[in-house]
Structure 1
Amino acid sequence: MKYFFFMLAAAPLSVCCQTLVHAQVISKSTQQAIPFATVGLVKQNNGTTTDEIGSFKIQCRSIEDSIIISAVGFKTARVAVSVVLSARKIELEENLVLLEEVSISWRNKAKPTTLNDFVHCPTNYYSVGLGTYRQVAQRFLAPRASMRLQSIRLCKMAGKATFRVRVYAMDSITGMPSTDLLSKELLINSSDKNVYIDLQENIVLPDRDFFIAVEWLFISSNEFRVKAKIDRQKISYSNYAPRLSFKKLTGIPTQNNCRMLNFNGSWQKPENYDSNHVFMIAAELGSQ
């Protein structure tokens, strides 16, 4: 069994940081707390997730930094750290279309076309830490444009994990994820190794290229400890579930189809990433 973790500079963070920022994220219209919103420091490029009551704590190196807050169904906000320190509450404006949670369905469906199909889950796993990325996206190429995405399957290490699944169109210029194609929130809470997600209302894919992404939630129930040895010194740090399964293809190197979303809101191709690594995410498509 192999593990692929991103630990980055999580250990030095507690030494360098000078200011503890804590606040609550709420809806501007209802004044209700927003759980599981993503909170990121722009310059520092690390972040966290709000808890069940919309609260978060994060340490920053400079009050000159800004915080980006994003949540499904709300407009992304950017607020100066100095403002957050005085206000203690951050209000997000709702989008025109409110998103609802959908359930996981295990009923069988017709599968006319399956992309990146798999039968078994490899025992190679990928997870992230606080100072790394918050989403990982796998690129897909549909046989033709205007097909419908009916369902998604993914493989992870067995064990409880709460996370989101996102679907994006591809920017034809940058090759990065762009428009969010989901009309409902896919908030997954599963202990199973194989997760099947019935989209219920099929998503029309405007072009052949699209992305399916997994979004990590940095909450206590997802946290686990990793022990490692660096320069003969034993260290321990936190990573977060899900531990997403991936496989390494053999033969001719393929195109790098993976994209990572930073806490500052920018997508990038991961550094030192083997383009032959493919995440165990399958897309099931049907015709219009």
Structure 2
Amino acid sequence: MKKLLTFVFGLIACAVQAQVKNNTFHVVDKQTNKPVASATIAILRASLSITTEKDGIFSIPGDLSIMKDTVVISAQRYIAFKLPLANLGNLDTIKMQQQPIIIADASLTISTDTLLNNYNRFDVGNYVGLHMGKGEFNYLQIAQKFDAKRAGTLLKKIDIERLAFHFDKFKPLPDKGTSILNGQYEYTELEHTKFRLRVYDVSPLTGGPGKDLCDKIIEVKSREDNLLSINLKSYNIVIPNKTFFVAVEWMRDYMNMGYVHVGNNYGTKKAYPNYRPAVGLSPTKGAALNIWALNLNQQWSLYIYHSPDFTDLAMKATVGY
């Protein structure tokens, strides 16, 4: 049975009515009319976003005509667009236009491999994607900038360090009372993760992520340890310039969602949703900040929250030339 992905607008007046209209939409390819899986639906002022499932269906409850907000719909290989929520009222199908991706010639003779952004993985202890201080983490993608020694290399592998375990401060430890009393934690489960890997050329305008360099969807699923090693040889991804970016795109669905409980000065806590994986920060500090983030409005910017202490993600790239 198809699952409907629903945004809950708690601050919208129509949500408190006894009967709430449910507006259901189908996101489809304009040429084929087939569902667009894993499209990101973002509501800007409400700071809400979710990923559609394979059926491309999402729903928004309430009277759209009175909602003063904007929706942004995006998906890999398609042109993103945004429009006022009120304009969705007369629609039930949203057709997305494909965006051509120019792929460089992959007929390279590889004789040498080079590892970029090396670090000691056992020193990784800080992560991106859980929350930001006492606020919610509202980014769709996090990217690492790489600089190869030459242009025209082949991207062969990506290694990512991620937070794999869920820690429970309140779970009792054997013969030691509760973990919160003696300052200890116990991991309760090995968290699954599902995300998409994106590879970008450098933008000549911003110096950040630009055009996609892969026309295939790279979806990563794992219940293994905190090291994710992703073999990319079969994708034939050629890096046309020296600089390129590799990004984690979070799948914002219910199965991939977790919560972080953050306290305040008054002793109360608030639960902030997050989406796995939480990506590690490299323990090796570089000369410049190389982390970029994509916000709900599909805009890339340098991710300065952890700077100047951390300059890079715990992400390594192996390129061949």
Scaled by the length of structure 1, the TM-score of the pair is 0.80
Matching residue's letter, 2:85: V
Matching residue's letter, 2:301: Q
Are positions 1:175 and 2:207 aligned together? yes
| 2:154–2:319 contact (8 Å) kept in structure 1 | yes
State the identity %: 26
SS at match of 2:121: coil
When residues 112 and 261 of structure 1 are mapped into structure 2, their CA distance, relative to the original with a 3 A threshold, is same
Q: After TM superposition, give the deviation of residue 78 of structure 1 in Å.
A: 2.8
Are positions 1:217 and 2:240 aligned together? no
Are positions 1:154 and 2:187 aligned together? no
Gaps of 5+ in 2: 1-7, 16-22, 104-109, 165-190
Q: Please show how residues 106-185 of structure 1 align to structure 2 within 5 Å.
A: 112-118=113-119, 120-121=121-122, 122-128=124-130, 132-158=138-164, 159-185=191-217
Distance in 2, matches of 1:120 and 1:230, equals: 32
When residues 152 and 219 of structure 1 are mapped into structure 2, their CA distance, relative to the original with a 3 A threshold, is same
Matching residue's letter, 1:234: K
Q: Identify which range, 137-146 or 169-178, moves more after superposition.
A: 169-178
Query: Which residue does the alignment assign to 2:316?
Result: 282
Question: 2:79 aligned to 75, 81, 92, which one?
Answer: 75
Q: Say how many residue pairs are matched.
A: 264
Q: Please show how residues 192-203 of structure 1 align to structure 2 within 5 Å.
A: 192=224, 193-199=226-232, 200-203=234-237
Distance in 2, matches of 1:183 and 1:43, equals: 31
Distance in 2, matches of 1:179 and 1:225, equals: 32
Q: Deviations over 1:102-145 (max 9, x none)?
A: xxxxxxx9971000134535232222577610001111110111
Distance in 2, matches of 1:123 and 1:258, equals: 17
Q: After TM superposition, give the deviation of residue 202 of structure 1 in Å.
A: 2.6
Q: Please show how residues 1-288 of structure 1 align to structure 2 within 5 Å.
A: 14-18=9-13, 22-42=24-44, 46-57=48-59, 63-96=67-100, 112-118=113-119, 120-121=121-122, 122-128=124-130, 132-158=138-164, 159-192=191-224, 193-199=226-232, 200-232=234-266, 233-249=268-284, 254-277=287-310, 278-287=312-321
Question: Which of 1 and 2 has greater Rg?
Answer: 2
Q: Deviations over 1:68-116 (max 9, x none)?
A: 21112323233331232321321112345699xxxxxxxxx99710001
Distance in 1, matches of 2:77 and 2:205, equals: 26
Scaled by the length of structure 2, the TM-score of the pair is 0.72
Distance in 2, matches of 1:131 and 1:19, equals: 27
When residues 273 and 17 of structure 1 are mapped into structure 2, their CA distance, relative to the original with a 3 A threshold, is farther
SS at match of 1:247: coil
| 2:200–2:245 contact (8 Å) kept in structure 1 | yes
Gaps of 5+ in 1: 1-12, 100-108
